[in-house]
Amino acid sequence: MKKFKPALFRQQFPLVVNYEGNTLSINNSLSQIESSSPLVYFDNGATTQKPNCVIDSYHSFYQTANANVHRSSHALSAKATTAFEHARKRVKTFINAKSYKEIIWTKGTTESINLIAMSFGRKILKQGDEVILALSEHHANIVPWQLIAEQTGAVIKIAELDVMGRVDLPAFERLLNSKTKVFCCAHLSNVIGKINPISELIQMAKSVGAITVIDGAQAVVHFPIDVQSIDCDFYVFSAHKMYGPTGVGVLYGKQALLETMPPYQGGGEMIKQVSFNSPTTFNSLPFKFEAGTPNIAGVIAFGKAIEFISAYNAKQIREYEKQLTIHCYQALQNLSVSSKKIVTFTVQGLPDIPVICFTLSGHHNHDIATALDSYGIAIRSGHHCAMPLMEYLNISGCLRVSLAAYNTFEEINYFINCLKKILAQESDSSLACANNNGKNEKNEQASSLVITQFAAVKSWDARHRQIMLLGKQLNRLDKSARNEQTLISGCESLAWLVTQKNRHNIFHFQADSDAKIIRGLLFIVLAAFNDKTAEQIQAFDIESYFNTLGLIQHLSPSRGNGILAIVDKIKGMAQ
């Protein structure tokens, strides 16, 4: 087993290493932060970067072993099949399953849960039966059970959390009764980052005969999993969150349960005998649940990812991740503006894994995430596919920093310094806006003015600051005008749009948003369309306008789609 050395471990990840030529400037003076387009990747909870061995495995398979598995008698197919099944055995060992038959390949955690719900849930649940879900679950472990409950008449019960964000054991025990058939829970939440008392929860559920489904998507990369020790009935996870490829997932299920479940999908490989004259019979485990040609290259590459992880001392990795977590958490905790602490963490206490969620007082989550992106820092903002949890926490969303073992203390320091600079610039922007005395250009000149302003700036961080300044100039809508009727659907943040048309058929639009970055983008869009006729609005080349500004290519897909949704709304209203 290799000793874990952070610098050498990091060198195995080419996408991270390729950006190291752009040195992070970590100085106490905020003016010393360089805008040299580094990559500080703090979105590992969404997906991790891939090591060379995983990338090389893909290339190697298609260059030397590309053939379908299980079905052909030629040597190339045998070679592919051997590698494919070897990866299955690696997973079996990795989570300590009893048999390779208990390892089912899927596309990811989401499909694994859907398979359990649609196959097992639909088979056993009936009117009045109860399914318990933890309040902190990801949508992927909520929606499939809602669909099955709708179809079967089962009832969903919610397990509450304690003050630290873990499933509350006494509250959970009160939910249990003879009607409880299924209990589903994440090993740990993708927002809270606290390890749930899984072993205790499983044993309590078993005391009333309930089947247990554990979502390990966030857990498997951070600490060892032993499915026999925790005695769960099902355990699911994805390859891409543990340095493996996308499009590959694992469903572990106890063999006795899998044997009783009907197939999830029909097609090749999952059958034993098909006839029009007699009943179709199905293949043995695990192939009964693997219809069609699988992601062969991905599965084999996942085997390499497991081999890669298993080669290192897990305790040393976890200790390093713990130190990163403490360093980042304390730095955020100490963040202040005018001697006032502005960070609020989603729950009390240090998280158990390097997943830190928080909000900044007086700042929209999307504004901060976009500003950080202009410095090359990738974090997550939004509801993180956990809307019920956000509702419970009484917030619309939050910021998430999720770290991996290839991240560094220097990157955390750079992140904190950039955050300080962004907050300082916000104050400067407010002052600049106040000194503008409300002077606005005439609307017919507005789009040209915006283009002129953007032509003077080259870097994305400078353009981001320009957008934020423009947002300060947008006239806010009255609160009464911000309602369901004026809401723009398809926009990542809340945004509203109203219009007036004068007797000369000239349209004038007003818009608003709860996010400052969106208000800036709204200013840019309205500059293009305001005080024009319907014909002029339809004829305006918005794509060329955005390209001239160098705008869309720097926005996330969801934000870019949101801007296009605003454009569509304006054109629709003009019609």
pLDDT computed for residue 380 by the predictor = 95
The CATH architecture that domain 6-38+313-426 belongs to is: Alpha-Beta Complex (3.90)
Cβ contacts of 415 within 8 Å, gap of 6 or more? 40, 42, 328, 372, 377, 379, 401
pLDDT computed for residue 451 by the predictor = 77
Distance between start and end Cα atoms, the chain? 68
Helix pair 516-529, 443-455: axis angle to 10 deg: 120
Q: Taking Cα atoms as reference points, which of 204, 202, 198 lies closest to residue 212?
A: 202
Identical fold for domains 49-103+266-311 and 109-238, yes or no, is yes
- How many separate helices (H) and strands (E) can be counted in the chain? 22, 19
pLDDT computed for residue 129 by the predictor = 98
CATH class of the domain at 109-238:
alpha beta
Helix (H) or strand (E) holding 155: strand 155-159
Token pair, residue 477, equals: 């809508």
pLDDT computed for residue 456 by the predictor = 67
**If you search the block for the tokens 């318990």, which residue do you land on?**
132
Active-site residue identified among 53, 185, 357, 385: 385
For the residues of 44-102, what is the DSSP string, one character each? TTT-----HHHHHHHHHHHHHT---SSS--SHHHHHHHHHHHHHHHHHHHHHT-S-GGG
Q: Taking Cα atoms as reference points, which of 224, 220, 226 lies closest to residue 202?
A: 226
Where would I find the beta strands (DSSP E) of 441-563? Answer: 495-501, 507-513
Q: CA 526, 527, 532, 534 torsion: positive or negative? A: negative
> Which positions of the chain have pLDDT values less than 70?
20-37, 426-445, 456-458, 460, 492, 552-554, 556-559
Q: CA 31, 34, 39, 40 torsion: positive or negative? A: negative
The CATH code for residues 443-574 is 3.90.1010.10
pLDDT computed for residue 30 by the predictor = 42
Bridge-based pairing state of the strands 130-134 and 180-186: parallel
Amino acid at site 360: L
Where would I find the beta strands (DSSP E) of 319-464? Answer: 336-337, 340-341, 343-345, 355-360, 377-378, 380-382, 398-402
pLDDT computed for residue 443 by the predictor = 44
Three-state SS sequence of 294-338: CCHHHHHHHHHHHHHHHCECHHHHHHHHHHHHHHHHHHHHCCEEC
Q: How far is CA 181 from CA 78, 133, 189, 492, in A?
A: 42, 11, 22, 37
Q: How far is the C-alpha of 132 from the C-alpha of 205, rounded, in Å? A: 9
pTM: 0.83
Strand partners, 282: 271
Q: Where are the domains of the chain?
A: 6-38+313-426, 49-103+266-311, 109-238, 443-574
pLDDT computed for residue 264 by the predictor = 92
Q: How far is the C-alpha of 381 from the C-alpha of 400, rounded, in Å? A: 6
Three-state SS sequence of 178-217: CCEEEEEEECECCCCCCECCHHHHHHHHHCCCCEEEEECC
Cβ contacts of 506 within 8 Å, gap of 6 or more? 531, 532, 533
Is 385 designated active site?
yes
Bridge-based pairing state of the strands 377-378 and 40-41: parallel
Q: How far is the C-alpha of 362 from the C-alpha of 112, rounded, in Å? A: 40
Q: How far is the C-alpha of 415 from the C-alpha of 417, rounded, in Å? A: 6
Residue 83 near residue 300 (C-beta atoms within 8 A):
yes
pLDDT computed for residue 252 by the predictor = 98
Fold classification of 49-103+266-311 is Aspartate Aminotransferase; domain 2 (3.40.640)
